[in-house]
Structure 1
Amino acid sequence: MSVPRARVLMYHGVDRVSAARDPYGMFVSPAAFRRQMECLLEAGYVPVSEDDYLAAVHGARLQRKAVLVTFDDGYLGVGEHAAPVLRELGVPSVLYVPADRIGGTSDWLEERHRHRLMDAADLREVAAAGMTIGAHAADHRDLRGLADAELTVQTRQAREHLEGVVGAPVRSFAFPYGHHDERARAAVRAAGLEAGFGIWDAADELAIGRVDVNATDTLRTFRLKLRRFYPALRRATDPVPSLRRRAHDLLGRAPRETPDGRGAEVGSR
C-alpha cells in the first residue's frame, strides 16, 4: 500500500461563528466555503471520493490534481451549510466523527468554546446526501501512549459503533489533533481500517498528511494551500511560528465574525 499523490483538505466547522466563540479559527463561514469549493473546480482540481482515494492507497491511479475533502468532528453546521454546497457542486467528502460524542458537544474544548455535534439522524441524512462517514476515535482522545485495551475502544469499537449508526462500512480513520504513534497506527490497522489521516506529521498510509483550512483563510491563502509544496513549507516554518504568522499577515487574513454575527464575510483576495 502507498500514500496517493493527492491533496487532502481538512475542515472542521462551516458556520457563522465569532472569534470569541471560536478562538482556534475552526469555523469557515458558509460563504467562504462555497467560494473555496468553486475555486477548486475552477482551478481544475478533481474532487475524489473515499472509495477512489482508498483504491489509490491499494495501487490504483488517481486523476491529476485529485483532491479529497475531509471534515473532522461532525459539527452541526457541516450538515446545514457544507453538505448542500457539496451536493450541488458534485463534490464528495468524508466526515470523521468521534463515535461516543454523537449528538453531544465538542467537550474536549473549554466549555465556552464548545459547539453542538450532529446526532444519529443528522449523520444518516448527510450520508444519504453523499457524505461518507469515517472514524475519529471514540471520544476525541489523543491516542498516543494509550494501553492496548483503550486503543481497541478508540479504533475497532468506534468503527463498529459508527457502522451501526449509519448502516454502512467505515473504512478510514482520522487521528484526533492529528497525533499518532506507532502503536496507535497499528491499532488502526488491526481495527480493519484501510487508511488513517493525521495533519502535518505524515508517516504512511495509516497517517496521511492533510492541509488544514481555517477561518482566517482568504482565497489567496486557500490557493497557496493547494500547491504541492505547501506542506513542506508549513513544516519548515514550525520552528519559527512568528515567521509563519508574519507571512500570513502579508498574504492577508479573512475578517472574523463579530459576536453579534454580523461581521464581514471573507474577502475574495
Structure 2
Amino acid sequence: MNDHLIRSTGNAIARLTRGNGRVAIVNYHRVLAAPSPLPGVRAQHRRLHRQMELLARCFNVLPLRDALAAIDAGTVPPRAVCITFDDGYRSVHDLALPVLRRLKLPATVFVSSGYVNGHTMWNDSIVEAVETLPEQELDLAEFGLGVYSLRSMPERAATLGRLTEASKYLPPQERSRLVGRLQTPVGERAAEGLMLTPEMVVNLDRHGIEIGAHTVTHPILTSLDEAAAQQEISDSKRELEAIVGKEVALFAYPNGKVGKDFDARHVAMVRAAGFQAAFTTAVGAITRRHDRYQLPRSRPWDDTPFRFALRLLQWLARG
C-alpha cells in the first residue's frame, strides 16, 4: 500500500462518514533503543520511527485537545490521528521527542505522577526479575499465582506475560509484597532511572507535548476503595499541574478496560476532578457519539508500515 493509496482510502472513508468526523488515537508506552529478548508493551525505536514517518506523510496528526475541539465543531479533517504515550518513561523524552520534533508531530504523554523523579513502576521491576533471575522454577504460591518456569527464553517470555497480567489485579499492598519478593534475589538495578524527571516533564511540555494524568501509582482503579481511587485521580492532576505550571486537562485510565479496570464510579470521579476528557484502551476511533470520559485509544502492535496504516484505516472506518 503506497502513500497515495493510503491517503485516498482515508479520504474515501471520511466522505462515507460525512458529518461524523473520526479520530484514531494510537497509544505507546516505553520506547526501546534496541530490541528486548522478552516481549512487552514497548515500541522499539526503529518501529516507532517508521510509524511516525508514515503518520507525517499520510495522516493529519492533531494535538489531542485540538482533535476533541474539531469533533465538537464538526471540522475533523480526513485521516485524523493523535499520538499518545502512557506511564511517563524517560525514553519518550530521550528517544521519541527528537523524532516527533523532526517530523513536527504533536503528542500527549499520560504520566503516573508518583513515578516521576527516580521511582520505578512495579511492572518494570517484574520485567527485571524475570530477565535476570537464574534458570529455575519461580514458586509464587504464597501469592496465589502458582509456579512459573524460567528455564528458557520462551518460558521466561510466557512467565512475564502471565505474571504481569495476574499482578495487575492484586491489591496494591499485596502487589508491592510480590515485587519485593522478586527483587530480593536480584536487587533493583537496571530498572532505576526509567521514568521521567520533573525537568523532562517540563521540557516535553515546553516543546508542545501535552502532559496528561494517569493516576499517581498506576493502580487498577477497581482494586481500590472509593476514597483511594479518588485520591489517585485528583492527586495526579494536582501533582502534575505543580510541575508544569498549567492545567492538566486530560486523563487516561490505567490498563483502561471498561467495566474491568474502571467503572461508572471512576468516570464520575474523573469528571468531578475537573478533567475535560478521559481515555480507555478500547479499539476504534473516537466520534461525537462517544462519552467524553470514555474515549477509545488503542496500541499499534504492527511490525510493518503497511499493517500499521491498514489498522488505522480500519479504526477510522469502524468508528
TM-score (norm 2): 0.65
Does residue 114 of structure 2 align to residue 61 of structure 1? Answer: no
Determine if contact 1:74/1:118 at 8 Å carries over to the other structure. Answer: yes
Q: Does the CA-based 8 Å contact 1:124-1:165 persist in structure 2?
A: yes
Q: Which one-letter code corresponds to 1:9 in the other structure?
A: V
| Match among 211, 215, 224 for residue 133 of structure 1 | 211
Q: Find the aligned partners of 1:211 and 1:183 in 2 and give their Cα distance.
A: 23
Q: Does 1:35 align with 2:122?
A: no
Are 2:29 and 2:87, in contact at CA under 8 Å, matched by a contact in 1?
yes
Three-state SS of the structure 2 residue aligned to 1:88 is helix
Aligned 8 A contact 2:283 2:315 in 1 = no
User: Which residue among 2, 23, 26 is the counterpart of 2:39?
Assistant: 23
Q: 1:4 and 1:101, CA in 2 relative to 1: closer, same or farther beyond 3 A?
A: farther
1:92-116 deviation per Cα after TM superposition (whole angstroms, max 9, x unaligned): 0000001111122222444334571
Aligned counterpart, 2:292: 205
Among residues 202, 214, 221, which one is paired with 2:307 in the alignment? 221
Q: Any conservation in 2 of the 1:185–1:206 contact (CA below 8 Å)?
A: yes
Q: CA deviation at 1:66?
A: 1.1
* Residue 14 of structure 1 pairs with residue 31 of structure 2: yes
> 1:16-53: CA deviations, max 9, x gaps?
24433x532x222222212111111222x111113302
Residue number in structure 2 paired with 1:98: 112
Indicate the SS of the match to 2:210: strand
Match of 1:173 in 2: 251
User: 1:48 matched to which residue of 2?
Assistant: 62
Alpha carbons of structure 1 residues 217 and 231: separation in structure 2 relative to 1, 3 Å: farther
* Distance of 2:223 and 2:267 partners within structure 1: 12
Which structure 1 segments of 5+ residues have no match?
234-269
Q: Which has the higher mean CA deviation after the structures are superposed, 140-149 or 159-168?
A: 140-149
- What pairs with 1:77-88 in structure 2 (closer than 5 Å)? 77-88=91-102
How far, CA to CA, are the matches of 1:153 and 1:201 in structure 2?
28
Distance in 2, matches of 1:195 and 1:124, equals 22
State the identity %.
Answer: 30
Alignment-derived partner of residue 240 in structure 1: none
Deviation string 1:145-166 (CA, Å, 9 cap, x unpaired) is 5333212211111101100011
Unaligned runs of 5+ in 2: 1-19, 129-190, 285-289
* Larger deviation, residues 101-110 vs 30-39: 101-110
Bigger drift between 26-35 and 181-190 goes to 26-35
Q: How many residues align?
A: 227
Distance across 1 between alignment mates of 2:317 and 2:72: 23
Residues 151 and 61 of structure 1, relative CA distance in 2, 3 Å threshold: farther
SS at match of 1:227: helix
**Where is the helix percentage greater, Structure 1 or Structure 2?**
2
Q: 1:155 to 1:221 in 2, by over 3 A?
A: same
1:161 equivalent among 231, 236, 239? 239
Tell me, yes or no, if the aligned pair for 1:47 and 1:68 is still in contact at 8 Å. Answer: yes
SS of match in other structure, 1:69: strand
Higher mean displacement: 140-149 or 51-60: 51-60
**Counterpart Cα distance in 2 of 1:229 and 1:54:** 17
Which shifted more, 75-84 or 28-37?
28-37
Work out which of the two has the higher radius of gyration on C-alpha atoms and give 1 or 2.
2
CA drift at 1:88: 1.3
Describe the shift of the 1:18–1:201 C-alpha distance in structure 2 as closer, same or farther (beyond 3 A). closer
- Asked whether the equivalents of residues 180 and 207 of structure 1 are also in contact (C-alpha less than 8 Å), the reply is no
Tell me the equivalent position of 1:73.
87
Shift of 1:59: 4.2
Correspondence 1:194 to 2:276 = yes
Give the direction of change, closer, same or farther, for the CA distance of 1:226–1:130 in structure 2 (3 Å limit).
same
